[in-house]
Amino acid sequence: MPPIHIGKYRIKIKNPHFIDFIISTFKSLEIRLKLSIIIVAVVVTAVVLFSMPVLMQQEDVLKEKVEDSSRFIARNLSQDVKNIMLYELTGVDDPGGSVEEQLELLSYTGVAGLEFAFTLNKLGKLIVKPDSCRARIAFDSSQVRKLMQLERFTAQTNNEFIEYYHPVQVKKNGNPITIGIVGIVFSKATILKPIEKTKRLIFYTAIGVILIAVMGIFFLSQVMVTQITDIFQAVRRVREGKLDFELKPRSEDELGQLATEFNRMIKHLREKLQMQKFVSSLTVKMIQERGGSRMKLTEGKRHNVTIFFSDVRNFTMIAERLEPEQIVKLINVYFQLQTEIIEKYSGVVDKFMGDQIMAIFPTGMMLQSALSAAIEIQKKIVILNQERARKNEVTLDIGIGINHGAAVLGNMGSRDRMDYTVIGDIVNVASRLCSIARAGQIIVEATPLKSMNSRYKTTRLEPIIVKGRTTPVEICQIEYRDAAFA
């Protein structure tokens, strides 16, 4: 991995795989943990960015004040010991008193952080007060010479102390001459104690803010994650085809609005699913193939299809004896049986018309499939009627008409209300064949049967006259009583 440049700094990542591991681990964490980590990082960064300049400025101000105080103390001490040092060097004009007394007086003033004070003259004589601090300081000849070269107040810092030096000077021929050094030594820890106290205060405040922020974000993330989890579970249920539920919005924010919109989508899907039950699967498939684009009435293609019609015999007389609710319940039993068998043989129920079904077999061995479906329907209805008769329930019988040939699959209706269905002469013929079929009978136009090797026995019936045709239509009856279902 190439090095990263930040300003003038060049950072080289030695182990990029570890970085990738951290990133992948972070991505796999729960949202509440991610939010907590991000909040902690933001709080820590904010505390550092805002506190460090303040601390640095406070430290500079404190050092400046200590330096000003030390300069004042050192200057006064320098004046107090000047004559005494001069006497010690020349032996003239004993001023009275001593350097020790001046240093003792300074040590008793209680200046915050003052560890000790000392004087050093040109001869190397060192006086330190308090005496207990004598071991902390010692100068060799080279250091003495270097200190005697000081011309102004000077500060020096090490790990333990902040040391201030002030030259003791007298004038000779108008020129200042350094005859000694006054030193004041402060404890660095004591001087910077307010800074350390402020650092601890900032640290504990940051810890408190982080804990409060983490608890707050954990609570908020719990609410958010719960709503997200609800939506996730809802999406999974929709994927499984379960639409009989509704999300409960837990807030009025974006997640709450998302839950509300999700409920609207579920409602729309339920409505769409229910509406599809009122539209033939052929129509639904056609709409899907066109991607939901707008249909035109002129659309349509010529296909060879098989048309299937079934109709309940003597339904009018039966309906006269029953209540409307009973009629609906009764007819739906027979419609359900027929629909399942038609779809089993790749047929499509085009529409229900009163007590009649129109179905289309548009693919494969269409005529063969329609005949197999018709035979199975008639045989299953016999079994169903036997069961219902044992229960003293009303039974129905149906007649079936089937025709095969060329027709147009297309849109029929108006611009705002269309039906995708089959149109052609074979539809009229199949409907007529159904109308003349007796209970349990299957009638097919004879011509299409000649083109297939039908394994079913047929019986020729009298030709019929169909409106619109100049010649009679040859028809036959399928003898299915001993035929297999396939």
Walk along the chain (486 residues) in steps of 10 and give the mean pLDDT of each run.
Answer: 51 62 71 74 77 76 79 82 76 66 78 82 82 76 81 83 86 82 84 77 79 76 76 82 78 78 81 60 54 49 89 87 89 93 90 90 87 94 94 93 86 63 86 92 88 76 83 89 56
Residue listed under structure tokens 């001490």: 77
What gap in Å lies between CA 128 and CA 117, rounded to an integer? 6
What gap in Å lies between CA 200 and CA 208, rounded to an integer? 12
What gap in Å lies between CA 210 and CA 200, rounded to an integer? 15
Residue listed under structure tokens 């097919």: 444
Supply the Cα-derived Rg of the chain in whole angstroms: 53
pLDDT of residue 78: 81
Residue listed under structure tokens 């408190």: 208
To the question of pTM greater than 0.85 for the whole model, the response is no
Distance of CA 408 to the CA centre of its chain: 50
What gap in Å lies between CA 380 and CA 338, rounded to an integer? 9
Peptide bond before residue 448 is cis, with ω within 30 degrees of 0: no
pLDDT of residue 215: 78
pLDDT of residue 370: 93
Domains of the chain: 64-191 (3.30.450.20), 195-275 (no CATH), 296-479 (3.30.70.1230)
**DSSP strands (E only) in 36-174:** 114-121, 126-129, 154-157, 161-172
Is residue 443 within 8 Å of 436, Cβ to Cβ? yes
